[in-house]
């Protein structure tokens, strides 16, 4: 995407036709509706491996996706993917040839990871055909939106900007 790539990027991934698998997409859509225009929010239904090009040049990336580990539906997990490999048991369900975990490890091997890559996984319970999130996943998606919105708002608050100017 060249030199115009934003330094910070939030990406929601998933399949909107597989119920809870669409939770990352829903988080990104809601966040995009709330965020200032300068924030880069990507709703990504494509192949995860293409994310290498989407995040190229970004220094801070947050990815939101569904997990499927037979854990508690709606459980939210946060991973620092720049520091360690994603647990394969959580991100093993994928309708793609290359899933999110494999994409991140490919980027790591190629030296194409952003300086900061945080992954939020929301545990799903229904990955069957259909649209709409289950109630538990819906509530958790709202909580992740709230968390990410608070981080974005903090970047734009006058106090935060003045602190950055002092430390710059």
Please report the pLDDT score of residue 161 as a whole number. 46
DSSP one-letter string for 71-110: --TT-EEEEETTTSPPPTTTS---SSSS-HHHHHHHHHHH
Please report the pLDDT score of residue 97 as a whole number. 66
Please report the pLDDT score of residue 92 as a whole number. 63
Please report the pLDDT score of residue 39 as a whole number. 87
Between the two ends of the chain, the Cα-to-Cα distance in Å is 27
Per-residue pLDDT of the chain (168 residues; tens, 9 = 90+): 444 555 899 999 999 999 999 999 999 999 999 988 888 999 999 999 999 999 999 999 999 999 988 889 999 999 999 999 988 777 666 665 678 999 999 999 999 999 999 999 999 999 999 999 999 999 999 999 999 999 998 888 776 444 344 333
Decide: residue 87, CB within 10 A, 0-12 exposed, 13-18 middle, 19+ buried: middle
Q: What's the structural domain count of the chain?
A: 1
Residue range(s) defining the domain that contains residue 154: 2-167
The domain that holds 112 is classified in CATH as 3.40.50.1450
Please report the pLDDT score of residue 156 as a whole number. 81
Question: How crowded is the C-beta side of 125, counted as CA atoms within 13 Å?
Answer: 13
Find, among 116, 125, 122, the residue nearest to 143 by Cα.
122
Please report the pLDDT score of residue 168 as a whole number. 38
């Amino acid at each position: 995407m060249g030199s115009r790539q934003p330094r910070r990027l939030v990406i929601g991934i998933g399949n909107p036709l597989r119920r809870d698998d669409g939770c990352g997409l829903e988080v990104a859509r809601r966040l995009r509706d709330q965020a200032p225009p300068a924030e880069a929010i990507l709703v990504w239904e494509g192949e995860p491996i293409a994310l290498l090009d989407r995040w190229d040049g970004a220094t801070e990336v947050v990815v939101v996706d569904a997990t499927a580990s037979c854990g508690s539906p709606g459980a939210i997990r946060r991973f620092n993917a720049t520091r360690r490999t994603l647990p394969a048991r959580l991100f093993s369900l994928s309708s793609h040839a290359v899933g999110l975990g494999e994409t991140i490890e490919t980027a790591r091997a190629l030296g194409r990871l952003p300086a900061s890559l945080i992954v939020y996984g929301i545990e799903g319970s229904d990955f069957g055909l259909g649209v709409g999130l289950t109630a538990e996943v819906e509530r958790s998606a709202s909580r992740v939106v709230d968390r990410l919105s608070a981080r974005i708002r903090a970047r734009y608050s006058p106090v935060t900007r003045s602190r950055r100017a002092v430390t710059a």
